Chains A and B, each alone.
Chain A
Amino acid sequence: MKKFINDPADVVAQALAGIAAAHPELRVDIDEQYIVRADAPRPGKVGLVSGGGSGHEPLHGGFVGPGMLDAACPGEVFTSPVPDQILAATKAVDGGAGVVHIVKNYTGDVMNFQLAAELATDEGISVETVLVDDDVAVEDSTWTAGRRGTGATLLVEKIAGARAEEGGKLAEVAAIGREVNTNSGSFAYALTAGTTPAAGRPGFDLPADEIEAGVGIHGEPGRRREKLRPARELVRSALDAILDAKPFPGPVIVLVNGLGGTPLIELYLIYGELAKHLEDRGVRIARQLIGNYVTSLDMAGMSLTLCQATDEMIRLWDAPARTPGLRWGA
């Protein structure tokens, strides 16, 4: 393994120091490990806090700024943040209107955010939680932990963030976030595993001619192994999996997301295939975003996210955002 690091134990803190140096419009607390808008807390504005393991950059810290998150708490690599850290971020952004926690459905994230929400409530802060569970690769049943939260996290953060920015109340911001999640479905493929700095070796072994279908964003194995096929077939399979799980008559917001190790030339090729397949099915793409947004360190792979979009969602999607990782209209 070759990585640009100094010491595996200090990667997150040193990356935070870099973010602080690069972005004076953000305030970075390196001890408590959170990133917050420099102008927080903003009186009367609902605060948005997200977080999860590091290694998914630009998620979550890269989406802090006007129009999206007020704060993000990055845990250790692929490990959820701890309650103290989430509480500190929550307090830093509470402007009296309450705080929305955006939480991906992974057991550790859910438990740590739940503990933090209880602590925040004890301190008189109103907290609403939006749980993101868009990954259709895993079966939703009474005996699993439910679906994982992956690519739709970006859509929830953008759209709920815009609603909060324009003055939405706590319940309204949480409601649009939940609606985006309900309307979204995602599916991912891995070509290779990512390597965490601490482990120093790939998270799983994948034969040269095989891919992992339905992989999660931590490199945790997916639904099944299969042989590598042409991109157009993989895109169709992923789309079938998403459309089997949820109806998407359109219009849709589409995210073609790289997992960290896939070049844009391949992501655009995939988008071209996806656009053709959707056109064949009569589904109109209202908005699209292509790039590395919800990554898994250096994993080569991609994920597709579709969101059945309402007019309100498209309006909020188009609203200005000014963050290190996503910026338009401002």
Chain B
Amino acid sequence: MNVALARDWMRAAADLIAADADRLTQLDSAIGDGDHGVNLNRGFTAVVAALEKTPPETVSDVLVKAGATLMSRVGGASGPLYGTALRSAGKALPPTAEVQPADLATALHAGLDAVRKLGGAAPGDKTLVDAYTPALDAFEKAVAGGADLAEAAAAASRAAEAGAEATVPMQARKGRASYLGERSIGHRDPGATSTGLIFQALADVS
């Protein structure tokens, strides 16, 4: 992955989230407070603007800047969580204009660790972790098997989507949805859904 591809990834993620903002907000209305699409759309719009304003020179810079922008623009729980994910992933990359799929696997791993530490969520809690974890597994397995970025990203995207779908029957144990208890069952988690979109964006541009 080079800097241009990393920027394309963020731009594609912004486009997918903008296109799905209403759906994300509706999913959040069912089990949360109904602002996920609005907030994430505002954040990724700011990410695209920030990357255009001062073009970064390394892939690491792209992700760190994207994460910092989300943290300072989104608010709610998604700002810190998505911001930390991208920022920590970026910081785990070598400071070069191009990185290898194995570097990206390490970075994605660092991003998931940071999210889990900040939010305290584990797989099965009906959060974005339920999409991110299988996506990372698929990405790492593909890379270990010699896949290129496109193949690994495609595998991660499919796994994230399946992970998001698998949140439907779960009972939420973290975040606002947890207040619903059993009533959270039967609804797809909005965070897992938007995480799926971010991995889909990576697959689309790779």
Contacts and interface: CB of A to CB of B under 8 A. Distances in A.
A145 B71 contact: no
B196 to A, nearest CB: 20
Nearest to B78: A108
B39 A76 contact: yes
A82 B38 contact: no
Nearest to A106: B176
Contacts of B74: 79, 82
Given A79-B75, A82-B71, A199 B179 contact: no
Interface stretch (A136-144, A174-182, A245-253, A319-327): A136-144
Interface string B26-44: 0001111111001100100
B77 A108 contact: yes
Nearest to B33: A218
Contact of B29 (A76, A108, A111, A203): A203
Contact of B174 (A78, A81, A106, A107): A107
A31 to B, nearest CB: 12
B111 interface: no
Interface residues of A, number: 35
Of B25, B34, B74, B174, most A-chain CB atoms within 10 Å: B34
A112 interface: yes
B179 A148 contact: yes
Interface of A: 53, 75-84, 106-108, 111-112, 115, 137-139, 143-145, 148, 196, 198-199, 203-204, 216, 218-222
Interface in B158-206: 173-176, 178-181, 183
Nearest to B183: A221
Q: Interface SS of chain B: helix, strand, loop or mixed?
A: helix
Contacts of A145: 174-176, 178-179
Contact of B35 (A107, A198, A216): A198
Given A75-B76, A108-B78, A144 B33 contact: no
B80 A112 contact: yes
Contacts of A106: 176
A143 B72 CA distance: 29
B118 interface: yes
Given A203-B29, A216-B179, 5 more contacts: A80-B76, A111-B119, A112-B75, A137-B179, A143-B173
Given A82-B71, A138-B179, A199-B38, A220 B76 contact: no
13 contacts: A75-B75, A79-B35, A79-B75, A108-B78, A108-B79, A108-B80, A143-B173, A144-B179, A145-B175, A203-B33, A216-B179, A219-B34, A220-B176
Contact of B175 (A78, A107, A143, A199): A107
B interface, size bucket: 20 to 34
The 5 closest A-B pairs by CB, nearest first: A218-B33, A108-B76, A108-B77, A111-B80, A79-B75
B109 interface: no
Nearest to B127: A107
Interface of B: 25, 29-35, 38-39, 42, 71-81, 118-119, 173-176, 178-181, 183
Nearest to A75: B75
Of A80, A112, A220, most B-chain CB atoms within 10 Å: A220
Contacts of B79: 80, 82, 108, 112
Contact of A144 (B29, B72, B77, B173): B173
Contacts of A83: 71-72, 80
Nearest to A144: B178
B80 A78 contact: no
Contacts of A75: 75-76
B178 A204 contact: no
Given A144-B179, A145-B175, A80 B75 contact: yes
B77 A111 contact: yes
Nearest to A111: B80
Given A139-B181, A144-B179, A199-B25, A79 B174 contact: no
B8 to A, nearest CB: 26
A53 B176 CA distance: 14
A137 B176 CA distance: 13
A280 B42 CA distance: 52
B76 A219 contact: no
Contacts of B39: 76, 79
A198 B21 CA distance: 11
Contact of B34 (A107, A108, A199, A222): A199
A204 B29 contact: yes
